[in-house]
Amino acid sequence: NNVIFSTLDAWKPVLQQAKDISRHVSNTGVNAARVFEQNSRQLAADVKDVANSNVNTSTTTKDSTHH
């Protein structure tokens, strides 16, 4: 029994390190997903702004040529 308990005690730091590493990897994945979401939203907003700008420019140009 002493051998089993000493072996288990020896594994505790290794298991703790594995737990810490897996938490770090998980947090890295969550952060990457958050950044991807923010960048996707920003890109979509920028594309929408450019599309609206092009429509406004096109409408203004057509209106000014007909006057």
For 12-29, the pLDDT digits (tens) are: 999 999 999 999 999 999
The domain segmentation of the chain, as residue ranges, is: 1-62
What whole-number distance in Å separates Cα of residue 33 and Cα of residue 5? Answer: 41
Token pair listed for 46: 């920028």
d(C-alpha 26, C-alpha 18), whole Å: 12
Using pLDDT thresholds of 50, 70 and 90, give the confidence band for residue 64: low
